[in-house]
Amino acid sequence: RGQSDDNLNTLTGRTKAWDLVYEVDRSEYTRLFGVGYGDKSIQGLPIDSGYIATFHETGVVGVAAVIAILSIGAFRALLDPRPANRAFALFLFAYVAVASYTETGIGDMSAYVLHVVLAFTVLVGRTRRRTSDAQPPRPRPVVTERPAIGSGPSIEASRAVS
HSE of 59, CA atoms in CB hemisphere, 13 A = 12
Name the nearest CA neighbour of 89 among 129, 62, 64, 125: 125
User: What average pLDDT does range 23-45 have in this prediction?
Assistant: 89
Q: Would you say residue 75 has pLDDT above 90?
A: yes
Tell me how far apart the alpha carbons of residues 99 and 112 are, in angstroms, rounded to a whole number: 9
Give the pLDDT score at 127: 61
Give the pLDDT score at 20: 86
Name the nearest CA neighbour of 54 among 96, 94, 92: 96
pTM tops 0.75: no
- Whether 37 contacts 108, CB under 8 Å: yes
Give the pLDDT score at 133: 59
Q: Quick one: which H or E segment has residue 78? A: helix 50-79
How much is the mean pLDDT over the chain?
82
Residue 148: pLDDT band by 50, 70, 90 thresholds? low
